[in-house]
A and B are shown apart, each in its own frame.
Chain A
């Protein structure tokens, strides 16, 4: 058994449903769709160790893959929360200078980076592709069908697949919040109690 781990399902699905579409155009739309998906759902996150000192407020955050898009939290090495913001994606600004040198844990949401791999496709964790390739396909179909003057132009098709893409993004956000726990508790007692 194996999971979907490459883009063939999306490429072949698009080639079949978009007669006359060019591979290069499909790949360009895949990048746009995945970028939009990652930015809106924020399901791709990474906790990055950032050495801090007592003299600087701003620190660059460099993920393993992709680009930082949104800041989720900053914690000290002992797990204490730290007030911070990320006015420019990739640079975390602390509200107060650290009292002592430490290694902070900065959790950021990521999106796909450009340039792409040699095959002009975006790089991101395989599990996201395996889980959400139908959603990406709907996004690609919606965007391609919405273009004018093409053999695959279709206003109704664009609307239909666009709705499915938006629903897929919403579901992804919910799945992420529930940590993919099926039938899990949807409400939790507030942390302060």
Chain B
């Protein structure tokens, strides 16, 4: 299935970020950190997505284990890709990137909360 592993998320994010050629603008560690932060955000907005971790530590992924499967329901995996892209682009300080970052982050929240997004 699509977006199974950490590597899948990083690869897909790079496509949306137009950052597929080395040396990368956004390193793997930045994107994996964004994924981990997205999971924390997801836990806040949709606790039911992480029912298995209620009362426990959330999963945390690492660049040292890119083949690890990411435990997110298939219905919501693309939302986390958008979060990774938005979070990565927040690092930039150009106006156009700010707008794009904001769009990605809003799409992440909207997809978790509504059907129409």
Are chains A and B native binding partners rather than an unrelated pairing? yes
Cα separation A11 to B49 with both chains bound (whole Å): 17
| B113 and A151 contacting across the interface, CB-CB below 8 Å | yes
Interface residues on B, range: 10 to 19
**Does A51 belong to the interface (CB within 8 Å)?**
no
| B51 and A151 contacting across the interface, CB-CB below 8 Å | no
The secondary-structure label for the interface of chain A is loop
Q: Would you list which residues of chain A between 1 and 48 have a CB under 8 Å from chain B?
A: 19-20, 22, 24-25, 28
| B45 and A22 contacting across the interface, CB-CB below 8 Å | no
Q: Tell me which residues across on chain B come within 8 A of A150, comparing CB atoms.
A: 46, 48, 113
**Does A79 belong to the interface (CB within 8 Å)?**
no
Q: Tell me which residues across on chain A come within 8 A of B115, comparing CB atoms.
A: 19-20, 151-152
**Does B96 belong to the interface (CB within 8 Å)?**
no
| A151 and B48 contacting across the interface, CB-CB below 8 Å | no
Q: Report the minimal beta-carbon distance from B79 to chain A, rounded to whole angstroms.
A: 10
Cα separation A42 to B115 with both chains bound (whole Å): 38
A20-B75, A149-B45 as given contacts; A25 in contact with B51, CB under 8 Å: yes
The one of B52, B76, B113 in contact with A149, judged by C-beta atoms closer than 8 angstroms, is: B113
| A22 and B51 contacting across the interface, CB-CB below 8 Å | yes
Q: Tell me which residues across on chain A come within 8 A of B75, comparing CB atoms.
A: 20, 22
Q: How many residue pairs at the A-B interface have CB separations less than 8 Å? A: 25
Q: Would you list which residues of chain A between 141 and 157 have a CB under 8 Å from chain B?
A: 149-152
Cα separation A150 to B49 with both chains bound (whole Å): 11
> Can you sample 10 A-B contacts with CB below 8 Å?
A19-B115, A20-B75, A20-B115, A22-B73, A22-B75, A28-B51, A149-B113, A150-B46, A150-B113, A152-B115
Q: Which single residue of chain B is at the shortest CB-CB distance from A151?
A: B115
Q: Tell me which residues across on chain B come within 8 A of A24, comparing CB atoms.
A: 48, 51-52
| A25 and B45 contacting across the interface, CB-CB below 8 Å | no
Interface string of B34-77 (1 = CB under 8 A from A): 00000000000110110110000000000000000000010110
Cα separation A24 to B54 with both chains bound (whole Å): 13
Q: Report the minimal beta-carbon distance from B11 to chain A, rounded to whole angstroms.
A: 25
| A151 and B114 contacting across the interface, CB-CB below 8 Å | yes
Cα separation A73 to B48 with both chains bound (whole Å): 42
Given contacts A19-B115, A22-B73, 10 further A-B contacts (CB under 8 A): A20-B76, A22-B48, A22-B49, A22-B75, A24-B51, A25-B48, A28-B51, A149-B113, A151-B113, A151-B114
Q: Which single residue of chain A is at the shortest CB-CB distance from B52?
A: A24
Q: Tell me which residues across on chain B come within 8 A of A149, comparing CB atoms.
A: 45-46, 113
